[in-house]
Amino acid sequence: MRAVVQRVLTSSVTVEGAVTGEINRGLTVLLGVEDGDTDSDVKYIADKVTGLRVFDDENGIMNLSVLDVGGEILAVSQFTLLGDCRKGKRPSYIRAARPEAAVELYRTFVDACKEKGAKVKEGVFQADMLVRIENDGPVTILLDSRKLF
């Protein structure tokens, strides 16, 4: 499982002209589910996302999590995070989980973040989405449950 986590001032998802999810201060999480991912991958990513200390404390040091600052999470499914561009110029998505499995693990991720106390808004799984991200910092963190980076 892969995630691109961005600290944001605001972020939203629009599908067919309607806003489906919108947050203020918090994290936008672009989540890619890999073939073979399990609940343990979800737990790892949810623990990391909710615990990442990327918000400034009173001394201006990134030492607080999204939970600490009462921020929100916007979760957006994005299978293209599993795109492999090592050969040629057209990404291969063979490592991405099939939609039937991916949607279940995406839902599990959202639920796991909520169980930790996070306020979570969402995009629409498998939809053509317009994602607006006002990256604060910019702060962008890459996560991989298989710890490839």
CB count within 10 Å of CB 67 equals 17
Structure-token pair, residue 104: 């279940």
Task: Identify the CA nearest to 146 among candidates 21, 63, 14, 32.
Answer: 32
> Which residues are known catalytic residues?
78-80
Structure-token pair, residue 82: 């599993």
- Three-state DSSP at 10 gives strand
Q: How far apart are CA 46 and CA 81, in angstroms?
A: 17
